[in-house]
């Protein structure tokens, strides 16, 4: 961050902008689009229809291949492009397709959301129609896959396929662990909270589930629907779901976010400030996309997903908002008794009900189309049939209700003029569960948790239950009753996926039981409580903070322990390390992170019986630190001695591992480097590219990184950073033109564009670009002007 001021003040000298006129028949009036030097489109329309037509059009121009892959995943047409290995994905997608009232769905998100979504889709399709006229000019991915982009419908926009959903995967693993370990041991190894007693949460398994079928691939089609889309070489026959569990663990460990708000009494400007940095998978192109929308009754700037209209994180003329994950539980796995004489009937409240079946046809590249039967109970899609025991399994998902398309409720937030209006808009936000924060020019700050939260009166939602009518949802908890604050006396709110819910929260089983380790939140609170008056620069430093609070706990444990002479200098250096900062330049960070990783593995191996380790791949950091501070009986007859032996053995192994990886010269042990902590972005189709020049252009990095998965600057727990804050925003409500932002690696998904990777190095060094809001400032930094005419 030494170059913060330099990166902040990237030349704002006006570049000679050139103008391009494009005719778009569906527009009602002319539209201006100013493309600034960081690739952000500032759209000035004269009416709402044209505003969202243009948003769709410019998003397609920047992210055409990304949009096409979204469309195929949303419609279950991936096998048509990639062949049989994607058949299960397409079946899963169609099985979990939204099948409710489409008109009600499209009208939920905003008083005019149906018209907005239709205009957005029309804008995307206008660009696609143009692109299909000149296939030779399409981005390289289309040529490699020998395909053309196809047209969108509103159903594509409201797809849930990439939503951050809930805990059905955990449910089945919890059931397996309870069967292997028992409920008490399961609670001991996990960190369920908040709770009022040691017997919470209830993990009792019904006798219907007390069999080995639990260990079958019950969620195969759900997993196929949720799995990330990958592109192995055409001759690679390995199934794309083979590594689903590893992917899911990575997502659970690393997907999250930070956000915070502070009142004007704690800022140098005297106005509220806001910061947000969502942690998602790092990729090229980025998940998110900056845009500025300006029309009568609209003036909003920020980031969303290029596949959605509106802005999910940003500010308008009145206030700013951001989000992080809040743990709701909106999925349950039901098991039913089936009729031995008719497997298409299941028992509900003592009566046989008939499964609803839908026939569908899936096109498969290189093969004849396949006709599939999609089956449904009254609760939801059937994912597994156990003919031997006359059972079947179905998923009940709250997100299949009307109004659960991720982030679309942001459309109402985009026009909020006050905390009251923003909070009202939050009540339409059902997926994903989020901590929504607000800061406005009038001096107010607020926090409202959102999400669709089923009320469970007689079970925890953490293990599967019979679908015979004994375990029914009692409706959904009104979003207004989820946790919230307005102008808190402490002057700030911090959320980092940690628990902020009291143990006595009513309808406890409507929200999650597992939360992120609070170290990120605690570090942010530590800085905000320092007594300083906060500035944009200090917020930027905090978003890039690499201090490990876990290191503060673990490193002092080494001080009194003897060690072989070979390792004494390494141990001494770590003992004298008082910053606990995992900076790229630090050699202590290299040793510490390797040591902590080995401690996690060693304690996990001792704590979790071998037969359960497949389903509990790690232990929570909270358990690790608690057990090392106060050694538990499972460490042996002398737990303290065993603990000390583990600390030393892992430390020695850490030094040995680093010596092998980085060499004997300790001057080369810097934490951030290509052989240690770094980021390298590899394009999804990199393996398909044979041209060395193109390959060099589409893949970015490596560049050194610091931190890990539990620093404020979350850089994931892998040596090559897989997750983290690709998008960041910092706002001082005093002056919207002082807003700072970043988007890794750039705004465009087309490597022919100068904005494909132009922000990569700036992001990697903790830099930002100025996010201008005033038209005169925008014009001054624009490099291109599009005039769109009817």
Reduced 3-state DSSP string for 585-627: CCCHHHHHHHHHHHHHHHHHHHHCCHHHCCCCCCCCHHHHHHH
pLDDT at 511 over 70: yes
Mind listing the pLDDT tens digit for each residue in 55-83? 999 999 999 999 999 999 999 999 999 99
> Residue 108: is the preceding peptide bond cis (ω within 30°)?
no
Joined together, the tokens standing for residue 237 give 């026959």
pLDDT band at 3 (very low <50, low <70, confident <90, very high): very low
pLDDT recorded at residue 238:
47
Average pLDDT over residues 398-419: 98
Task: Encode pLDDT of 129-157 as tens digits.
Answer: 999 999 999 999 999 999 999 999 999 99
How many helices (H) and strands (E) would you count in the chain?
Answer: 24, 28
Separation of alpha carbons 635 and 627, rounded Å: 9
Among 79-88, 244-253, 315-324, 737-746, which is the least confidently predicted range? 244-253
How far from 783 is each of 33, 36, 39, 40, 754, CA to CA, in Å?
A: 11, 6, 9, 10, 11
pLDDT tens, 86-123? Answer: 999 999 999 999 999 999 999 999 999 999 999 999 99
At 2, is the pLDDT very low, low, confident or very high (cuts 50, 70, 90)? very low
Cα gap 210→213, rounded to integer Å = 8
**215 φ/ψ sector (left φ>0, alpha ψ -120 to 50, else beta):** alpha
Counting residues of the chain whose pLDDT is more than 90, the rounded percentage is 93
For the residues 581-603, what does the mean pLDDT come to? 98
Cβ neighbour number for residue 4 with a 10 Å cutoff: 18
Q: Give residue-wise pLDDT tens across range 638-672.
A: 999 999 999 999 999 999 999 999 999 999 999 99
Q: Which residue has the higher pLDDT, 167 or 26?
A: 26
Q: What is the mean pLDDT of residues 266-289?
A: 97
Q: What is the pLDDT of residue 632?
A: 95
Task: Give the whole-angstrom CA distance, residue 412 versus residue 101.
Answer: 21
Mean pLDDT of 724-730: 97
* Average pLDDT for 341-363: 98
Q: How many Cβ atoms sit within 10 Å of the Cβ of residue 103? A: 10
Q: Report yes or no on whether pTM surpasses 0.85.
A: yes
At 582 the pLDDT is 98
Quick check: 239 pLDDT over 70?
Answer: no
* pLDDT the model gives residue 232: 81
Give the integer Cα–Cα distance in Å for 770 and 325: 26
Evaluate whether 197 touches 441 at the Cβ level (below 8 Å): no
Q: Is the pLDDT of residue 16 over 50?
A: no
**Stretch 395-405: mean pLDDT, rounded?**
97
Q: Is the pLDDT of residue 8 over 70?
A: no
* CA neighbor of 758 nearest in space, from 77, 62, 58: 62
Residue 626 has pLDDT above 80, yes or no: yes
pLDDT digits (tens, 9 = 90+) for 535-550: 999 999 999 999 999 9
SS3 141: helix
| pLDDT score recorded for residue 1 | 44
- Cβ neighbour number for residue 399 with a 10 Å cutoff: 23
Compute CA distances 701 → 273, 328, 745, whole Å.
Answer: 33, 36, 10
pLDDT of residue 235: 64
> CA-CA distances (angstroms) from residue 463 to 113, 174, 703, 762?
37, 6, 43, 45
pLDDT, the chain, mean: 95
Comparing 166 with 372, which gets the higher pLDDT? 372
Structure tokens at 365: 């590249």
Q: Which of 514, 376, 461, 402 is nearest to 168 (CA)?
A: 461
pLDDT of residue 673: 98
Q: Mean pLDDT, to the nearest integer, of 628-642?
A: 95
pLDDT category, 255, cuts 50, 70, 90? confident
- Those residues whose C-beta lies under 8 Å from the C-beta of residue 445, and which sit 6 or more positions away, are 261, 262, 263, 272, 274, 437, 438, 439, 486, 487, 488, 492, 493
Half-sphere exposure of 81 (CA within 13 A, CB side): 26
CA distance 56 to 40: 14
Main-chain phi, psi angles of 233, to 5 degrees = -55, 150
The share of the chain scoring above pLDDT 70, in percent, equals 97
pLDDT top residue among 456 and 248: 456
Give the pLDDT score at 389. Answer: 95
What is the SS3 assignment for 375-433?
Answer: EECCCCEEEEEECCCCEEEEEEEHHHCCCCCCCCCHHHHCCCCCHHHHHHHHCCCCCCC
pLDDT by residue (tens digit) across 369-379? 999 999 999 99
């Amino acid at each position: 961050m030494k170059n913060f001021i330099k990166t902040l003040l990237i030349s704002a000298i006006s570049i000679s902008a050139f103008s391009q006129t494009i005719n778009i028949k569906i527009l009602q009036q002319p539209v201006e689009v100013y493309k600034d030097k960081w690739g952000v489109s500032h759209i000035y329309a004269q009416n709402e229809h044209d505003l969202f037509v243009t948003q769709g059009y410019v998003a397609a121009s920047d992210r055409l291949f990304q949009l096409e892959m979204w469309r195929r995943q949303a419609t279950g047409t991936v096998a048509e492009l990639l062949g049989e290995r994607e058949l299960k994905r397409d079946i899963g997608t169609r099985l979990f397709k939204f099948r409710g009232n489409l008109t009600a769905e499209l009208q939920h998100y905003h008083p005019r959301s149906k018209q907005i979504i239709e205009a957005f889709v029309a804008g995307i399709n206008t660009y696609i129609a143009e692109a299909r006229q000149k296939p030779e000019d399409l981005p390289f991915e289309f040529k490699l896959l020998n395909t053309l982009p196809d047209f969108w419908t509103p159903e594509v926009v409201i797809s849930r396929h990439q939503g951050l959903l809930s805990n059905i995967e955990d449910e089945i693993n919890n059931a397996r662990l309870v069967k292997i370990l028992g409920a008490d041991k399961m609670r001991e190894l996990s960190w369920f909270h908040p709770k009022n007693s040691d017997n919470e949460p209830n993990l009792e398994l019904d006798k219907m589930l007390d069999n080995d079928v639990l260990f079958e691939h019950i969620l195969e089609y759900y997993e196929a629907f949720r799995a990330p889309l990958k592109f192995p070489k055409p001759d690679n026959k390995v199934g794309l779901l083979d590594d689903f569990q590893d992917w899911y663990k990575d997502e659970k460990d690393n997907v999250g976010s930070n956000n915070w708000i502070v009142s004007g009494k704690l800022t140098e400007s005297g106005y509220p400030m806001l910061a947000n940095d969502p942690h998602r998978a790092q990729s090229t192109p980025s998940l998110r996309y900056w845009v500025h929308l300006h029309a009568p009754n609209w003036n909003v700037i920020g980031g969303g997903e290029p596949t959605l209209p509106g802005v999910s994180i940003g500010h308008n003329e009145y206030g700013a908002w951001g989000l992080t994950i809040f743990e709701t539980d909106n999925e349950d796995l039901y098991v039913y008794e089936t009729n031995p004489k008719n497997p298409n009937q299941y028992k509900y409240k003592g009566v046989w009900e008939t499964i609803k079946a839908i026939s569908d046809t899936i096109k498969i590249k290189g093969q004849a189309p396949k006709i599939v039967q999609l089956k449904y109970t009254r609760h939801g899609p059937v994912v597994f049939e156990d003919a031997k025991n006359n059972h079947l399994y179905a998923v009940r998902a709250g997100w299949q209700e009307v109004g659960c398309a991720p982030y679309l409720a942001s459309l109402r937030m985009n026009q909020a003029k006050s905390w009251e209006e923003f909070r009202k808009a939050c009540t339409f936000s059902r997926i994903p569960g989020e901590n929504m924060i607000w800061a406005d020019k009038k001096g107010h700050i607020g926090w409202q948790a959102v999400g669709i939260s089923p009320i469970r009166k007689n079970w925890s939602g953490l293990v599967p239950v019979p679908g015979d009518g004994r375990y029914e949802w009692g409706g959904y908890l009104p979003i207004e009753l989820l946790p919230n604050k307005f102008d808190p006396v402490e002057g700030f709110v911090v959320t980092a996926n940690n628990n902020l819910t009291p143990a006595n929260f009513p309808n406890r089983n409507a929200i999650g039981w597992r939360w992120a380790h609070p170290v990120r939140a605690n570090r942010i609170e530590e800085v905000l409580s320092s007594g300083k008056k906060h500035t944009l620069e200090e917020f930027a430093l905090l978003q890039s903070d690499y201090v490990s609070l876990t290191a503060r706990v673990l490193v002092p444990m080494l001080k009194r322990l003897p060690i072989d002479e070979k390792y004494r200098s390494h141990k001494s250096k770590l003992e004298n390390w008082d910053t606990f900062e995992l900076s790229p330049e630090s050699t202590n960070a290299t040793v510490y992170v390797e040591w902590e990783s080995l401690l996690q593995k060693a304690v996990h191996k001792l704590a979790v019986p071998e037969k359960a380790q497949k389903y509990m791949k790690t232990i929570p950091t909270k358990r690790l630190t608690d057990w090392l501070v106060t050694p538990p009986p499972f460490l042996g007859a002398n737990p303290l001695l065993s603990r000390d032996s583990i600390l030393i053995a892992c430390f020695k192994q850490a030094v040995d591992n680093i010596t092998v990886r980085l060499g004997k010269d300790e001057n080369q042990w810097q934490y951030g480097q290509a052989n240690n902590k770094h980021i390298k972005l590899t394009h999804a189709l990199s393996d398909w590219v044979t041209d060395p020049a193109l390959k060099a252009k589409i893949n970015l990095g490596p560049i050194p990184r610091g931190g890990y998965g539990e620093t404020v600057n979350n850089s994931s727990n892998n040596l090559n950073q897989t997750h983290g804050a690709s998008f960041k925003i910092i706002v001082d409500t005093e002056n919207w033109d002082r807003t700072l932002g970043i988007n890794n690696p750039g705004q465009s998904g087309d490597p022919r564009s100068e904005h494909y990777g132009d922000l990569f190095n700036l992001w990697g060094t903790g830099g930002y670009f100025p996010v201008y809001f005033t038209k005169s400032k925008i014009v001054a930094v624009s490099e291109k002007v599009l005039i769109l005419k009817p």
